[in-house]
Amino acid sequence: MTASKKTAGLAGVIAGQTALCKVGGEGAGLSYRGYDIYDLCDYAGFEEVAFLLMVGHLPNRSELDGYITKLKSLRGLPDAVKQVLEIVPANAHPMDVLRSGVSILGNLEPEEDFANQQSVADRLLACLPSMLLYWHRFHADGKRIDVETDDDSVSGHFLHMLHGKPPAELHRKSLDTTLILYAEHEFNASTFTARIIAGTLSDFHSAVCGAIGALRGPLHGGANEAAMELIQKFSSPEEAIKGVIGMLERKEKIMGFGHRVYTTSDPRNSVNKKMAGVLADEAGDTHLYANSEAIEKVMWDEKKIFANADFFAATVYHFMGIPTYLFTPIFVCSRITGWSAHIMEQRADNKLIRPAADYIGPGLQTYVRIEDRR
Ligand code: COA
């Protein structure tokens, strides 16, 4: 076997060092800067986790209050960004909308100096939900919404803009928890993309645009939308089991299952599953949660493949009235924290990322001039 086959997809390859996040291995299944995600979900809010990841320590009360106030002040969108969002077609993919939004912001508010990188990260964290929901509401209801709401949290700001009123605390807290769970995950595909771009000493916005592009795919962030489409296809758990077995027989992939690093479970799943159950009860759900549980069980029974963070996150979002096509963009609104922290970590000890390849093409050929070719 060639070296490239052994390391296909860089599986198991250690491609660098990070102090941001530990995935799997001994101790907690997932920790951010040494803090177990279960503790963060129970006791912290998303802004506290954002601060932890990017600044490097848990904020004290005055640091956190100051950070929340700062993020609130950065939610507004320049008119030029609003104009672009209005021109982007209503049927555009919202991940493309965010990618374009970040790109135009990078033109209007370029990162002039790496010394300002934290400000760029804060600006993006604060205004990504504004971009997404401004575009969504403009095209869905013809409204030019005010993106500068008075909600303290990113989750409250998001749901307020989506539904036009401040959210119920259960919904805000549930979204907040999924944002914590999605915030950071070591050298996943989109983060690695961001690090590769940062490693060329390119600008912050370019690294984030690349990361959004990588996250869009169904093998990465796009899985939460595909999971909901699957769950909704079936009208009962029995039908779901039959349908999934058929898909497995046809060698189709079930989105929201499996993971490159985890082998027996994804630690984020139990948190999402519990929230999905609570929200399903609240919404008077008749079959979607039961379908999800049935699919989870049949995947384990048939293939020993477990639900990852995306599977029950889809149900959580559905029951707070979020349209399916906004699921993956929510991932962006969260993972911007992890991407930003990685861009800063990469820059702090930069080395161009440029691996080597096993050449498998033809040997040296004799060049034949075009007029002599048949
Ligand atoms: N449904 C069905 N089979 C799956 C599967 C899934 N979700 N995930 C993995 N498998 C099977 C593969 O078909 C393959 O079987 P084979 O060896 O018989 O060919 C085997 O498990 C290994 O899968 P592979 O895709 O090669 O592993 P990977 O480490 O490259 O991929 C994922 C990891 C996440 C890309 C993969 O599990 C997947 O595609 N999952 C669905 C997408 C998803 O949920 N992504 C979000 C990840 S957080």
Got the DSSP string for 188-207?
-HHHHHHHHHHHTT--HHHH
φ/ψ region of 153 (left if φ > 0, alpha if ψ in -120 to 50, else beta) reads beta
* Residue 4 pLDDT: 63
Overall average pLDDT of the 116-138 stretch: 98
- Give the number of other Cβ atoms within 10 Å of residue 140's Cβ: 12
Closest CA to ligand 1's atom 37? 258
pLDDT of residue 25: 78
Alpha helices per DSSP H over the chain: 3-6, 37-43, 46-55, 61-73, 79-87, 94-108, 117-141, 154-163, 169-182, 189-199, 204-215, 223-233, 237-249, 267-283, 288-303, 309-318, 327-348
Tell me which residue of 269, 115, 265 sits closest to 204, measured CA to CA: 115
Ligand 1 atom, smallest distance to 260 CA: 29
Residue-wise burial string across 235-252, b where 16 or more C-beta atoms lie within 10 A, e elsewhere? eebeebbebbeeebeeee
Q: Which of 5, 228, 259, 301 to mutate to test the pocket of ligand 1 (most atoms within 8 A of CB)?
A: 259
268 lines ligand 1 (CB under 6 A): no
Q: Is 259 near ligand 1, meaning CB less than 6 Å away? A: yes
Position 28 scores a pLDDT of: 83
pLDDT at 2: 59
284 Cα to the center of ligand 1, angstroms: 33
In this prediction, residue 7 carries a pLDDT of: 82
Question: Among 6-20, 82-96, 126-140, 288-302, which is the least confidently predicted range?
Answer: 6-20
Q: Is the beta carbon of 12 within 6 A of some atom in ligand 1?
A: no
Residue among 305, 331, 335 to mutate when testing ligand 1 (max atoms within 8 A of CB): 305
Q: Is the pLDDT of residue 154 over 70?
A: yes
How many whole angstroms separate alpha carbon 315 and alpha carbon 225? 10
Which helix (H) or strand (E) element contains residue 30?
A: strand 30-32
Position 345 scores a pLDDT of 98
Q: How far apart are CA 162 and CA 330, in angstroms?
A: 12
pLDDT at 26: 76
Q: pLDDT averaged over the chain?
A: 96
Residue with CA closest to ligand 1 atom 12: 253
Give the other-Cβ count within 10 Å of 198's Cβ: 27
What's the CA gap between 272 and 119, in Å, rounded? 31
Residue 256 has pLDDT above 70, yes or no: yes
C-beta atoms surrounding 309 within 10 Å: 24
Considering Cα of 262, then 93, then 211, then 78, what sign does the dihedral take? negative
Q: What percentage of residues in the chain have a pLDDT greater than 90?
A: 95
CA–CA dist 5, 158 (Å, integer) = 43
**Secondary structure (DSSP) of 225-239:** HHHHHHHHH-SSHHH
Lowest mean pLDDT among 23-32, 96-105, 187-196, 205-214: 23-32
**pLDDT in the model for residue 274:** 98
Say which DSSP state 31 is in: E
pLDDT at 90: 95
For residue 3, what pLDDT band results from cuts at 50, 70 and 90? low
Query: Looking at residues 288-300, what average pLDDT do you find?
Result: 97
Q: Whose CA is nearest to atom 35 of ligand 1?
A: 219
Q: Check pocket membership of 305 for ligand 1, CB cut-off 6 A.
A: yes
Ligand 1 atom at minimal distance to the Cα of residue 258? 37
Mean pLDDT score, 108-115: 97
> 261 in ligand 1 pocket by Cβ < 6 Å?
no
- pLDDT for 121: 98
223 touches ligand 1 (CB under 6 Å): yes
Residue 24 CB less than 6 A away from ligand 1:
no
pLDDT at 36: 96
**What count of residues does the chain have?**
374
What is the separation, in whole angstroms, between the first and last Cα of the chain?
Answer: 37
The average pLDDT across 81-86 equals 98
Residue 27 has pLDDT above 80, yes or no: no
Distance 256 CA to ligand 1 centre (A): 9
Q: Does the pLDDT value for residue 141 go beyond 80? A: yes
Shortest-distance Cα residue to atom 24 of ligand 1: 260
**Spatial separation of the C-alpha atoms in residues 337 and 343, rounded to whole Å:** 10
Backbone angles phi, psi at 166, to 5 degrees: -60, 140
Q: Whose CA is nearest to atom 41 of ligand 1?
A: 255
* 172-189 per-residue burial string, b: 16 or more CB within 10 A, e: under 16: bbbbbbbbbbbbbbbbbb
Are the beta carbons of 94 and 329 closer than 8 angstroms?
Answer: yes
Q: Tell me if 308 CB under 6 Å of ligand 1.
A: yes
pLDDT in tens, 202-241: 999 999 999 999 999 999 999 999 999 999 999 999 999 9
Burial (0-12, 13-18, 19+ Cβ within 10 Å), 356: exposed
Ligand 1 within 6 A of 75 CB?
no
**Does ligand 1 come within 6 angstroms of the Cβ of 253?**
yes
Separation of CA 13 and ligand 1 centre (Å): 18
Asked if residues 4 and 358 have their Cβ atoms less than 8 Å apart, the reply is yes
Average pLDDT on 69-81 reads 98
Catalytic residue set: 220, 259, 310
Tokens coding 344: 């800063």
Q: How many angstroms does the Cα of residue 219 sit away from the middle of ligand 1? A: 8
Distance 259 CA to ligand 1 centre (A): 7
Specify the pTM. 0.96
Q: Is the pLDDT of residue 193 over 60?
A: yes
